């Protein structure tokens, strides 16, 4: 049998490459295995970039404390493009974020990284959103790129959620726009910024926002959208505008083109060609739930496999029981790789589960 192995990372646990290697080990050498670790614009996007783009990859080092961050530069339609993974600057696990409460986290470091890349002469940026720790609609990023926000007294606000709550005036005339180059925004979710299904209600509580604060933060977000309404792209109800705590909205103000990160990576990864003649696609992520159904990598990969008549299996760190019946519309089999005693998934456990797909033995 032929197995195409194309998982996302298990956030905070195993990289997509490590998950793919564990699955391949479980399948064994008696079967054909095509390993294609992927990402959807969230954590780990930079790590998998080498496979789809290695023919043209080079490294640019940004001047971000304490020792800089490497940014890969690759050829995109004849032009050099830099991939900036937001999680590497303001990610949920970044020490500069974990040491602060949500209200004091900002996206300034991401904006400075973008400016640094532009200063190095690379005018096309691919910004991967996902796995970020902020929920300030990009006020820090926009400030780094030339915007000015002030409070009722005319003083500059802080570049974080507290600052967003205090904004009473905005000067967007100095914003950097991508007139000559391109700004492509890889979004890992379809969520809008505002509304009942908006980012404040769906994602902010996961980052530390208390239920009692949702109403006031949502009001501040809507007010901020109004301040930005003079610019094209200021649509808080648009798909993907709520990605990464509103960075999807902020980057649209700069002329950014929001796309599905999963589809963008899949299109360039060779996954479609790899699936020709395959018996199984195996994909997965750290946790599969309702967010998976909103266009995460495993769903997009399974949709492609289904269109080619290839069966698909989901091996994730955990699977939400309430979402499993709907996931069953795309996946022929679903497995949680968490240990039966409640321990999180490990490479050994993933291999054990994957072995069951060969028919040699079923997973526990």
The string over 238-259, giving b where at least 16 C-beta atoms fall within 10 Å of a residue's C-beta and e elsewhere, is bbbbbbbbbbbbbbbbbbbebb
Above 90 in pLDDT, residue 294?
no
CB 350 within 8 A of CB 337: yes
Would you say how long the chain is, in residues?
364
- pLDDT tens-place string over residues 336-350: 998 878 888 999 999
Domain with CATH 3.40.50.10350 in the chain: 2-36+270-358
Answer CATH for 2-36+270-358 from 1.10.443.10, 3.40.50.920, 3.40.50.10350, 3.30.43.10? 3.40.50.10350
CB 140 within 8 A of CB 159: yes
Say yes or no: domain 45-262 is CATH 3.30.70.1060: no
Task: Specify the pLDDT at position 112.
Answer: 93
Structure pTM? Answer: 0.90
Task: Specify the pLDDT at position 176.
Answer: 84
Structure token pair of residue 123: 């005018």
66: confidence class by pLDDT, cuts 50, 70, 90:
low
Place of tokens 């990023």: 141
- pLDDT tens-place string over residues 6-16: 999 998 789 99
What average pLDDT does the segment 315-344 reach?
93
Task: Specify the pLDDT at position 67.
Answer: 64
């Amino acid at each position: 049998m032929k197995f195409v192995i194309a998982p996302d990372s298990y956030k905070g646990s195993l990289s997509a490459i490590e998950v793919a290697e564990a699955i391949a080990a479980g399948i064994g050498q008696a079967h054909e295995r095509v390993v294609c670790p992927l990402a959807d614009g969230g954590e780990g996007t930079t790590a998998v970039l080498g496979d789809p783009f290695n023919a043209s990859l080079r490294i640019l080092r940004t001047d971000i404390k304490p020792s800089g961050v490497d940014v890969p530069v690759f050829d995109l339609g004849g032009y050099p493009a830099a991939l900036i993974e937001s999680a590497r600057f303001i990610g949920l696990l970044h020490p500069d974020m974990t040491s602060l409460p949500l209200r004091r986290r900002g996206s300034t470091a991401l904006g400075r990284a973008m400016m640094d890349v532009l200063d190095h002469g690379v005018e096309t940026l691919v910004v991967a959103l996902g796995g970020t720790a902020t929920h300030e609609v990009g006020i820090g990023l926009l400030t780094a790129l030339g915007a000015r926000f002030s409070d009722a007294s005319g003083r500059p606000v802080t570049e974080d959620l507290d600052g967003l709550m205090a904004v009473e005036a905005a000067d967007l005339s100095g914003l950097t726009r991508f007139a000559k180059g391109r700004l492509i925004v890889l979004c890992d979710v379809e969520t809008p910024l505002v509304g009942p299904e908006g980012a404040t209600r769906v994602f902010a509580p996961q980052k530390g926002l208390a239920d009692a604060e949702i109403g006031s933060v949502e009001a501040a977000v809507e007010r901020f959208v109004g301040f930005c309404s003079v610019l094209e792209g200021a649509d808080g109800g648009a798909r993907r505008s709520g990605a990464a705590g509103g960075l999807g909205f902020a980057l649209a103000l700069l002329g950014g083109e929001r796309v599905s990160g999963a589809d963008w990576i899949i299109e360039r990864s060779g996954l479609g060609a790899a699936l020709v003649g395959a018996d199984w696609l195996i994909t997965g992520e750290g946790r599969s739930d309702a967010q998976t159904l909103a266009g995460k990598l495993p769903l997009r990969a399974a949709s492609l496999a289904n269109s080619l008549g290839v069966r698909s299996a989901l091996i994730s760190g955990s699977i939400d029981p309430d979402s499993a019946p709907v996931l069953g519309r795309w996946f022929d089999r679903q497995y949680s790789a968490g240990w039966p005693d409640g321990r999180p998934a490990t490479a050994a456990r993933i291999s054990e589960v994957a072995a069951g797909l060969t028919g040699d033995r079923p997973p526990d």
